[in-house]
Structure 1
Amino acid sequence: MVADALIYHPTYAKLLRFLDTTPKREKSFRLVAYLSRFLSYYLYRTGYSKQVVDTFKTLKAQVTFLRKGMRFLKPLHHFEAASKAFDNKLMDPVLQQTTVIRNLGYAGYLTIDGFIFVKMLGLVDSKRWSKASTWASRFWLLGLVAGVINSLRSYQINTIKLKASDSDEKIDVKDVKSKLFKAKRKLIWDLLDTFIALNSLDYLHFTEGDVGLAGTITSVMGLRDLWAAT
Structure 2
Amino acid sequence: MNTNELVDKTVRFLSTTVGRDRVNRFVQYFARFLAWHLQKNGSDKEVLARVAGLAAATAITRKVMRTGRQLEFARGIVKALAIKDDVIRITTIFKSVFMAAWLSFDTCQWIHSAGVYKFENIKEIGSRAFKCWLVALLFSFAGDIYKLQLNAKKISIESKIAKSEKAPADEAVIARRNIKALIAERSKLFITAVQDGVDIILPSAGLEYLSFDSGIVGLAGAFTSLLGGYAHWNSL
TM-score of the superposed pair, with normalisation by structure 1? 0.90
- Residues 1:185 and 2:191 aligned together: yes
1:118 partnered with 2:124: no
Q: CA deviation at 1:21?
A: 2.7
Q: How does 1:56-71 map to 2 (within 5 A)?
A: 56-71=51-66
How many Å apart are 1:87 and its aligned residue? 2.3
Q: CA RMSD in A?
A: 1.7
Gap runs ≥5 in structure 2: 162-171
- Which residue is 1:133 aligned to? 126
Residue segments in structure 1 that go unaligned for 5+ positions in a row = none
2:154 to 140, 161, 166: 161
Aligned to 1:165, the other structure's residue is in SS state: helix
Distance (whole Å) between structure 1 residues aligned to residue 23 and residue 201 of structure 2? 21
Which residue number corresponds to residue 174 of structure 1? Answer: 180
Where do 1:189-204 residues align within 5 Å? 189-204=195-210
Q: Deviations over 1:157-199 (max 9, x none)?
A: 1111222223334541112222222222222111110011110
Count, aligned residues: 222
Moved more, 203-212 or 100-109: 100-109
Q: Please say which of residues 14-23 and 118-127 is displaced more in the overlay.
A: 14-23
- Match of 2:211? 205
- Select which of 110, 114, 138 maps to 1:145: 138
What is the aligned-residue identity percentage? 27
Matched to 2:47, the amino acid is V
Decide which moves more: 174-183 or 150-159. 174-183
2:69 is aligned to 74
1:141 maps to amino acid: L
Greater RCO (CA < 8 Å, at least 6 residues apart): 2
User: AA paired with 1:149?
Assistant: A
- Equivalent position to 2:37, from 39, 42, 45: 42
Matched, 1:16 2:22: no
Cα distance between partner residues in 2 of 1:175 and 1:146 = 25
Relative to structure 1, is the Cα distance of residues 184 and 16 closer, same or farther in structure 2, using a 3 angstrom cutoff?
closer
User: 2:75 is aligned with what amino acid?
Assistant: E
Q: Is the 8 A contact 1:120 1:126 kept in 2?
A: no
The answer to whether 1:102 aligns with 2:95 is: yes
Question: CA distance change for structure 1 residues 128 and 177 in 2, over 3 Å: closer, same or farther?
Answer: same
Q: Greater helix share, 1 or 2?
A: 2
2:166 aligns with none
Residue matched to 2:20: 25
Give the Å deviation of 1:126: 4.2
Query: 2:140, 2:115 → 1: CA distance?
Result: 34
For the 8 Å contact 2:73–2:100, the answer to whether it is kept is: yes
Q: Contact 1:151–1:187 at 8 Å: present in 2 too?
A: yes
Task: State the distance in 2 between where 1:121 and 1:143 align.
Answer: 26
Hey, what's the Cα distance between the residues in 2 that align with 1:26 and 1:20? 11
Contact 2:188 2:231 in 1 (8 A): no
In structure 2, how many angstroms separate the alpha carbons of the residues matched to 1:77 and 1:215?
23
